[in-house]
Amino acid sequence: MKIEADRKYTKSHEWVLFEGDGAAIGLSDYAQDALGDLVFVNLPQEGDELAEGEVFADVESVKAVSDIYSPISGAVCAVNEALLDAPEAINQDPYGAWLVKAGGVSGGEDLMDAYQRFETLEFCARTVINAKTLGEPTYLTDDQIEQHEKSLPTDYPHFMGVTYPSDERAIRSLIVKMVRRACDQGLMISSYGTVSVRWRGNDFLITPPGVPRWDIEPGNIVQVKNGMVEAGKIPSRSVALHQEIYQSHPEINSIIITQPPHLMGFCTSGVKFNVRTIPESWIFLKDTPIIPFGVQYEDSKKISEALKSVPAVLLANDSVLITGDGLLQTFDRLEVAEFSAKSLIMAAPIGELKPINDKEVEDLRVAFHVK
């Protein structure tokens, strides 16, 4: 049995050879020998998605039909169509007769980890494309990344004796519903995106880090009471910012922080997010400012101050923060903001924006009682 040392192997005897920013996948010498003479190969098409550990093809030999499992996640960028007419080439040269080649490859400790990495890779690519449509993306420096890493809280005061009355449980269910809705609309991915809702006084409920948003359950939500978190749970890394906003703004009852791809185009390019496109956009969002990167770590009160006059802010190279008097209103504002950002990006190649002027904005302010 022959083994090529330049590639990696799976327990089910597929091999993967990494080449630049892609990879080729095939069957090992052991696999072709165990299968016997191959008479048919069924392969995916270009553009199909591969998921680590999932079946992506099958082969038929004189003995049986066998599934082939992908060792990586990615997108099929090339198919060895010669094998469709000559499947025996796999028996003759298993390391030369690759099945497919994949681009945008991601791997992980398990299938879920690999998928989240792939989803994040796709998000980054879309963000860069959107930023380049507007101008030029600004990338984080090593110092800024280090600032982010150092700012992550590692210890939280906890409280025991947690109670879950009916109104608290209802908020948990609503948060889960809105998070899943956000995932369905591409407004949240992987384990990114934070939602919180005021409960009683300045106490609130908030999503945790590290939990895939499409799998989140009411029991994952974290109760924050008197500045402490319920025992045995970890809240979002932005919990202190949420606390600051709730304490300073009694009119705000919910907060969403997330990274939708079109809004992130503005966050990473520094181009002004001009919501004066249609009346609905301005009524929902008003003139949304961009807060420089690092303010959320150095002086979160500045973000809270900005929210005195607007319901949403963009945090440069980080996220969008949107508030409301209830979670449904906050989510509506998020939808309008991402729609507006998408409209501006799609219209950019056509020509210059013709915004609503100051007089028209003032007319809207009076007509819709906007403060």
CATH of the domain at 352: 3.40.225.10
Q: Does residue 134 lie within any of the structural domains? A: no
CATH of the domain at 21: 2.40.50.100
- Is 333 a residue whose pLDDT tops 90? yes
In degrees and rounded to multiples of 5, residue 57 shows phi and psi of -160, 175
> DSSP 3-state assignment of 364?
helix
How many domains, in total, are found in the chain?
A: 2
Q: Do 89 and 187 lie in a common domain?
A: no
Q: Does residue 126 lie within any of the structural domains? A: no
The per-residue pLDDT for 104 is: 64
Classify strands 194-198 and 204-206 as parallel, antiparallel or unpaired: antiparallel
Q: Which of 145-149, 197-201, 272-276 has the highest mean pLDDT?
A: 197-201
Q: Do 99 and 229 lie in a common domain?
A: no
Q: Does residue 230 lie within any of the structural domains? A: yes
Q: Does residue 240 lie within any of the structural domains? A: yes
Mean pLDDT of the chain: 91
Residue-wise pLDDT for 210-265, tens only, equals 899 989 999 999 999 998 999 999 999 899 999 999 999 999 999 999 999 999 99
Query: For residue 203, with 0-12 CB atoms within 10 Å meaning exposed, 13-18 middle and 19 or more buried, which class applies?
Result: middle
| 55-64, 124-133, 304-313: the lowest-pLDDT one | 124-133
> Does this model's pTM top 0.75?
no
Q: Does residue 118 lie within any of the structural domains? A: no
Domain boundary among 83, 107, 131: 107
**Structure token digits, residue 84:** 């469709």
In degrees and rounded to multiples of 5, residue 139 shows phi and psi of -100, 150
Q: Comparing C-alpha atoms, which of 178, 130, 183, 138 is closest to residue 343?
A: 130
Instruction: Indicate left, alpha or beta for 310 from its phi (over 0: left) and psi (-120 to 50: alpha).
Output: beta
How does 48-78 read in b/e, with b if 16+ C-beta sit within 10 Å?
Answer: ebbbbbeebbebebeeeebebbbbbbbbbee
Q: Does residue 135 lie within any of the structural domains? A: no
Cα three-residue angle 54-183-264, rounded to 5 degrees:
110
Q: Do 176 and 69 lie in a common domain?
A: no
**Structure token digits, residue 174:** 């609503």
Domain housing 197? 140-367
Cα 29 from Cα 44, distance rounded (Å): 22
Domain boundary among 51, 83, 107: 107
**Structure token digits, residue 12:** 């089910």
Q: Which residue has the higher pLDDT, 37 or 300?
A: 37
Question: For the residues 114-130, what does the mean pLDDT come to?
Answer: 82
